[in-house]
Amino acid sequence: MQTFSIAIHGGAGTLIKGMMTPELEAKYKSDLKTALDAGYQFLKEGKSAVEAVAESVRLLEDSPLFNAGKGSVFTAEGTHEMDAAIMDGKTLNAGAVSLITGIKNPVSLSRDVMEKSEHVFLAGEGAMQFANELNYKLEEIDYFYDEFRYQQWQEIKDSDSFQLDHSAKKDSKFGTVGAVACDQHGNIAAATSTGGMTNKNWGRVGDSPMIGAGNYANNKTCAVSCTGSGEFFIRGVVAYDVSCLMEHKNLSLEEASNEVINKRILEINGDGGLIAVDAKGNIAMPFNTEGMYRACKSSTGKEEISIYK
Ligand code: ASP
Catalytic entry in 14, 75, 101, 176 = 176
| Helix (H) or strand (E) segment spanning residue 95 | strand 94-100
Question: How far is 73 from 146, CA to CA, in rounded Å?
Answer: 8
Mutational pocket test of ligand 1: of 97, 164, 198, the residue with most ligand atoms within 8 Å of the beta carbon: 164
**Over the stretch 134-179, which tens digit does the pLDDT of each residue have?**
999 999 999 998 888 888 888 888 776 666 654 444 444 578 999 9
Contacts (Cβ under 8 Å, ≥6 apart) of 125: none
Mutational pocket test of ligand 1: of 194, 201, 232, the residue with most ligand atoms within 8 Å of the beta carbon: 194
**Over the stretch 180-194, which tens digit does the pLDDT of each residue have?**
999 999 999 999 999
Q: Tell me the pTM.
A: 0.95
46 Cα: distance to centroid of ligand 1 (angstroms): 31
* The total number of structural domains that make up the chain: 1
> pLDDT value at position 148?
82
**Ligand 1 residue neighbourhood (C-beta within 6 Å):** 11, 67, 164-165, 174-176, 194, 196-197, 206-208, 214, 227-228, 230
Please report how many Cα atoms fall inside a 13 Å half-sphere around the Cα of residue 299, on the Cβ side: 20
298 bridge partner residues: 5
Query: What phi and psi, each to the nearest 5 degrees, are found at residue 56?
Result: -60, -45
- Lowest mean pLDDT, pick from 3-17, 93-107, 224-238, 265-279: 3-17
**Over the stretch 44-74, which tens digit does the pLDDT of each residue have?**
999 999 999 999 999 999 999 999 999 999 9
- pLDDT, the chain, mean: 94
CATH number of the domain residue 26 falls in:
3.60.20.30
301 Cα: distance to centroid of ligand 1 (angstroms): 31
pLDDT band of residue 19 (cuts 50, 70, 90) is confident
Query: At residue 254, does pLDDT exceed 50?
Result: yes
Q: Could you give the percent of the chain with pLDDT greater than 90?
A: 83
Question: How far is 79 from 72, CA to CA, in rounded Å?
Answer: 9
Is residue 205 a contact partner of residue 196, using CB atoms and an 8 Å limit? yes
> pLDDT value at position 172?
46
Which amino acid is located at 65 in the chain? L
> pLDDT value at position 154?
85
Its domain, for residue 124, covers: 5-308
Ligand 1 atom with least separation from CA of 205: 9
Question: 3-state DSSP call for residue 23?
Answer: helix
Is residue 85 a contact partner of residue 191, using CB atoms and an 8 Å limit? yes
Q: Judge whether 176 counts as a catalytic residue.
A: yes
Query: At residue 20, does pLDDT exceed 90?
Result: no
34 Cα: distance to centroid of ligand 1 (angstroms): 22
**Over the stretch 265-291, which tens digit does the pLDDT of each residue have?**
999 999 999 999 999 999 999 999 999
**Over the stretch 103-123, which tens digit does the pLDDT of each residue have?**
999 999 999 999 999 999 999
